[in-house]
């Protein structure tokens, strides 16, 4: 097929203002394209050479393309530059300055594609000269109009405005005569994110093949998205009175593909991000004993010493650091798997959530840094809200409530009511520090072996003369402070909770309430595992401090009875503020 045929279509698309005309031109072009050329034509028409997820850009610098135009036209670069500044489009400049060359079109689509692909793949020493040479060779055989489109494509500025959805429509019409089968075609696209592959399947086998179109490792699936509701009653009503509530982890969504010993990771926007997550690759290889799989997980950061979930910002900070390997050592990610879409040759996207989840639980070899998401089947508002409180106090954003219906399939690429987000609506942000009493401690691991991983701290309830727990603090201690903790606290250690301490959590060591520490947190929330103001705001839940951090100040000047009171915390909680 001659490139010229494509260029004529592009010219028509560029000059029309009619959506129908644009569609007709595309349909005619697609129909005129032989099957084996279809993927190339589809990518070229989008100004690309490969599907987006392969992240191979032609992206030749304009300065180099300009040099190629100068060489091909035999004119000085200055003249090209002057013409470019008049027209503002190097493609138009090339078309104009190569006007003299009155040649018949001979370039084929394959030749153009291969040339551009060679440019995209040329790298390293001497690559600049080689790229320019390849482009010059193409320009020297091009008609003026072809030269214009070659330059636009090479510099990544084709800009025909043909989006994925426009092409999906045109492909459907080209093959079936109408847009009726468009949902089937779109589903196939959502399962592979590759328009070229869809074009071939549709043309070769019609819509019958697409109905059984399967996901495949290393072709990312467009992610299923969640709707949002504020009221637990409405959520349950939407989901038929019963649902699976899963913690909504606050990290980065990863779609992880494995085949044999190879793992590739895609972002929510289906970009390849394997290189950013060497530790997630290792976790997958170690924790997933299957030949091939596609699963989704949230990558979260945990405090390496205390195991507590860290805020999303901490994970993002790691991404900005250049030395990924080093960052991965300092702040390793944990994977929380929440869906399984493909397993050893079988497409699971057509199975209901409940069955996908059973398989997910079966294949994940859970370890400290790789687990399926926490979840519970709930069938009433109190159950749902209690689990929500637990989720928030565990450092997550809330819940994703998932349909247990038999038709709750994985809806690739769409936002629907099979998944409903239930997020914290109100937060009472902490602007002040609080002074809390150390009542217990949990053993440390890793770097903190031999000392405490976190301290269980409590607020004072003067009415009952009792200390009620509000959080575990593990962050903010310097190495020296950490090392000194056992020395400081050992004299206070007792084998059981002190009678003046009210705790639901089991500590490894208990202390006589005596030491006061200054703590700052992100906010005061409800939690079913702490006892401060238990039942005051919600049955079964107390108040807790989320993301607590030791400020570095030991309040030796304060007696435990001078610590922040439960009532003060309750007041902070009530100063609610829309998030």
Pairing of strands 577-578, 523-527: unpaired
CB of 168 to ligand AMP, least distance (A): 23
Q: How wide is the angle at C-alpha 454 spanned by C-alphas 548 and 400, nearest 5°?
A: 55
Q: Which residues contact 250 (CB under 8 A, 6 or more apart)?
A: 298, 300, 309, 311, 312, 395, 396, 397
CB of 227 to ligand AMP, least distance (A): 9
CB nearer ligand AMP, residue 76 or residue 416: 416
Q: Which of 216, 279, 298, 461 binds ligand AMP (CB under 6 A)?
A: 298
Query: Is residue 249 a contact point for ligand AMP (CB under 6 A)?
Result: yes
Q: Of these residues, 131, 248, 258, 402, which one is catalytic? A: 248
CB nearer ligand AMP, residue 249 or residue 266: 249
d(CA 562, CA 579): 31
Query: Is residue 394 a contact point for ligand AMP (CB under 6 A)?
Result: no
Residues 501-530 that bind ligand AMP (CB under 6 A): none
Query: Is residue 53 a contact point for ligand AMP (CB under 6 A)?
Result: no
Q: Which of 96, 157, 182, 253 binds ligand AMP (CB under 6 A)?
A: 253
Q: Measure Cα distances from 366 to 155, 249, 279, 370, 517 in Å.
A: 47, 17, 16, 5, 36
| 504 belongs to the catalytic site | no
For tokens 């003060």, name the residue: 568
CB of 249 to ligand AMP, least distance (A): 4
The number of C-alpha atoms within 13 Å of 451 and in the hemisphere containing its C-beta is: 22
CB nearer ligand AMP, residue 248 or residue 302: 248
- Site size with ligand AMP, rule: CB under 6 A: 13
CB of 374 to ligand AMP, least distance (A): 8
Q: Which of 1, 32, 56, 226 binds ligand AMP (CB under 6 A)?
A: 226
Torsion of CA 532, 536, 539, 541, to 10 degrees: -30
Asked if 7 and 15 touch (Cβ cutoff 8 Å), the reply is no
Chain residue at closest Cβ approach to ligand AMP: 253
The number of C-alpha atoms within 13 Å of 231 and in the hemisphere containing its C-beta is: 4
Query: Is residue 266 a contact point for ligand AMP (CB under 6 A)?
Result: no
For tokens 């995209």, name the residue: 120
CB of 225 to ligand AMP, least distance (A): 6
CB nearer ligand AMP, residue 269 or residue 362: 269
CB nearer ligand AMP, residue 213 or residue 247: 247
Q: Which of 4, 134, 373, 428 binds ligand AMP (CB under 6 A)?
A: 373
List the beta strands (DSSP E) in 386-477: 398-403, 415-423, 426-429, 434-443, 452-461, 466-473
For tokens 């020296």, name the residue: 480
CB nearer ligand AMP, residue 239 or residue 533: 239
CB nearer ligand AMP, residue 151 or residue 400: 400
Query: Which stretch, 115-123, 133-141, 243-251, 286-294, contacts ligand AMP (CB under 6 A)?
Result: 243-251
CB nearer ligand AMP, residue 113 or residue 353: 353
Quick note: the x/- pattern for ligand AMP over 405-444, rule CB under 6 A, is ----------------x-----------------------
Task: Report the b/e string of 194-222 with b at 16+ CB within 10 A.
Answer: bbbbbbbbbbeeebeebeebebbbbbbbb
3-state secondary structure of 356: helix
Query: Is residue 169 a contact point for ligand AMP (CB under 6 A)?
Result: no
Q: Which residues contact 78 (CB under 8 A, 6 or more apart)?
A: none
Asked if 498 and 455 touch (Cβ cutoff 8 Å), the reply is no
The residues binding ligand AMP (CB under 6 A) are: 225-226, 246-249, 253, 268, 298, 338, 373, 400, 421
Active site residues: 248
């Amino acid at each position: 097929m001659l490139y010229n045929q494509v260029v004529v279509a592009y010219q028509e698309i560029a000059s029309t203002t009619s959506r129908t005309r644009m569609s007709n031109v595309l349909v005619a072009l697609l129909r005129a394209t032989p099957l084996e050329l279809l993927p190339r034509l589809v990518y070229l028409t989008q100004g690309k050479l490969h599907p987006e997820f392969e992240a191979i850009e032609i992206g030749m610098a304009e300065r180099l393309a300009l040099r190629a135009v100068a060489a091909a036209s035999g004119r000085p670069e200055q003249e090209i530059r002057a013409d470019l500044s008049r027209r503002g489009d190097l493609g138009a400049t090339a078309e104009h300055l190569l006007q003299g060359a009155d040649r018949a079109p001979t370039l084929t689509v394959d030749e153009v594609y291969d040339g551009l692909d060679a440019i995209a793949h040329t790298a390293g020493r001497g690559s600049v000269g080689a790229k320019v040479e390849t482009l010059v060779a193409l320009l020297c055989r091009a008609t003026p109009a072809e030269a214009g489109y070659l330059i636009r494509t090479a510099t990544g500025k084709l800009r025909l405005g043909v989006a994925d959805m426009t092409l999906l429509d045109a492909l459907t019409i080209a093959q079936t005569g109408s847009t009726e089968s468009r949902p089937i075609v779109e589903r196939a696209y959502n399962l592979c994110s590759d328009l070229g592959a869809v074009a071939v399947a549709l043309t070769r086998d019609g819509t019958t093949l697409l109905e059984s179109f399967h996901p495949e490792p290393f072709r990312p699936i467009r992610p299923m998205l969640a709707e949002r509701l504020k009221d637990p009653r409405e959520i349950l009503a939407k989901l038929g009175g019963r649902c699976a509530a899963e913690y909504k982890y606050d990290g980065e969504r990863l779609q992880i593909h494995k085949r044999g010993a190879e793992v590739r990771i895609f972002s929510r926007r289906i970009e390849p991000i394997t290189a950013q997550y060497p530790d997630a690759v290792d976790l997958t290889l170690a924790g997933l004993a299957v030949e091939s799989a596609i699963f989704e997980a949230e990558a979260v950061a945990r405090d390496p010493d205390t195991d507590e979930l860290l805020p999303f910002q901490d994970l993002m900070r790691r991404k900005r650091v250049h030395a990924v390997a080093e960052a991965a050592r300092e702040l390793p990610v944990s994977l929380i798997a929440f869906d399984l879409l493909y397993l050893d040759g079988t497409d699971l996207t057509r199975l209901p959530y409940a069955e996908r989840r059973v398989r997910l639980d079966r294949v994940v070899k859970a370890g400290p840094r790789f687990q399926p998401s926490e979840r519970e089947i709930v069938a009433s508002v109190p159950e749902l809200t209690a689990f929500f409180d637990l989720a928030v106090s565990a450092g997550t954003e809330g819940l994703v409530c998932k349909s247990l219906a038999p038709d709750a399939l994985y809806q690739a690429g769409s936002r629907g009511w099979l998944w409903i987000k239930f997020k914290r609506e109100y937060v009472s942000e902490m602007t002040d520090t609080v002074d809390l009493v150390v009542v217990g401690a949990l053993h440390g691991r890793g770097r903190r072996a031999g000392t405490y991983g976190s301290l269980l701290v409590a607020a004072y309830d003067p009415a009952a003369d009792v200390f009620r727990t509000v959080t575990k603090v593990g962050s903010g201690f310097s190495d020296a402070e950490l090392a000194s903790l056992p020395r400081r606290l050992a004299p206070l250690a007792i084998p059981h909770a002190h009678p003046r301490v009210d705790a639901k959590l089991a500590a490894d060591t208990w202390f006589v309430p005596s030491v006061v520490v200054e703590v700052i947190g992100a906010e005061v929330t409800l939690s079913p595992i702490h006892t401060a103001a238990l039942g005051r705001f919600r049955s079964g839940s107390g108040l807790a401090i989320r993301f607590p951090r030791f400020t570095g100040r030991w309040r030796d000047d304060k007696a435990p009875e001078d610590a922040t009171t439960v009532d003060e915390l309750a007041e902070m909680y009530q100063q609610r503020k829309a998030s």
